[in-house]
Structure 1
Amino acid sequence: MNERRTVLVVEDDPDIAALVGGYLTKEGFSVASAASGREALAEFDRCIPALVILDIGLPDVDGIEVCRSMRERSDVPLMFLTARDDEIDRIVGLELGADDYVTKPFSPRELTARAKAILRRSQITSSSDQVMRQGAVTVDLGRREVTVGSELADLTAREFDLLAYLIEHTGLALSRQQLLDGVWGYDWYGDVRTVDVHIAQLRKKLGDAADIRTVRGIGYRWA
């Protein structure tokens, strides 16, 4: 399924970079590497990756700044890999458009599974003419675009998939685990609270048009 898609691994620790790159290569991916922020941006422009795995603690430029620069260029899926487990870092990273956040130490197999799940969800669907409308919100599954009224919403790949899943199940109360299974995938491992962070981002970006209701004791539903 990978068709030799390229994953850009940005990590200044050569042992970790080799470990991650080795597992991705075994899964059939082409791997590009960078050990600094400046090198990462140059490699990003050169190889046009399908996914970026980005360490926050880089020697020259903070990974969050690198993420911001990449987001100005593209909406390519991006995963943070870092030793920093501070909630503020996590929220800032997700607000900038990161699709996932993995803290060290980590399981290489789990990291690879998450990378594959992100790439699987980010693939453009074959039903390019499928459009869903709910109130002022229009979701174009083929173009992977969301508009609120006449304005294009700036969503990450994960936020798009979560919104589409909620609207596809309009009126149904979905638990956090159901949302994780349906959007992140059954092979995703992590804290269910990541759903809450992404819901908060959707509400912020969609404003009053975000008809996402919190269902006490269960999860969320699109009303």
Structure 2
Amino acid sequence: MAPPDNDVLWARSLHCALGGTDALGDVSLGVREGEILALTGPRGSGKTTLLRCLSGQLVAQRGEVWFETFPVHALGTADRERLRRDRFGWIDPSPGLVPELTGWENAALPLLLRGASHRAARSAAVEWLERLDIGDCARRRPHALSHAECQRIAVARALITTPSVVFADEPTAALHRADGAQLLRTLTAAARSHGITVLLATHDTEVAALADRTVGLLDGRRTDGPPPASGAEGVAACSLSV
């Protein structure tokens, strides 16, 4: 069964074990289009695992994940990779920039990998860097930039294709509070102006306060209980292979 019409991303009864330990246990979640949703909880609560399952990086042993009308849980590896490339963006706690590339080249990588022309990719990258107030970083390589500037380039890289959903896994964890707050304000403002859905994993309550809604996790389970079934009662959870 596809997700409710107002949910761009929908998961039901996810169970995922990693290394013999239950990382997620019976987690259900619906995310509305254009919503900024914060996943909160201490480190080890299952936030990263849930993001990885929702984005198709990881397939749960049991449960369903839908993006629009696509059953992410049932897609093959190549189709899930294509979905991540074309419709999703991802931000890690560390920037993960390519040291040999300039700021704009790092930001433009998703477009270049999709076959965009050098000129078009550069123009889009510079535009996003300017929106994120780091236009002067376009020609500089990561070693000449601050960590906060590098993380903003990573945000530009995640947004440059105007994805449907951006998954942000503790994006401010390694930043000073002021830098982190500014980065989050910039990310959320850019997402809202372009109608991009954001799933933000954080253990910081001040970061979570920027979201439209908060879902708590603890030991791989929702602390606020599952959402209403939205008409999905009686649908059996799929048994999936990892």
Q: TM-score, normalised by structure 2?
A: 0.27
**RCO higher in structure (CA 8 A, sep ≥6):** 2
More helix by share: 1
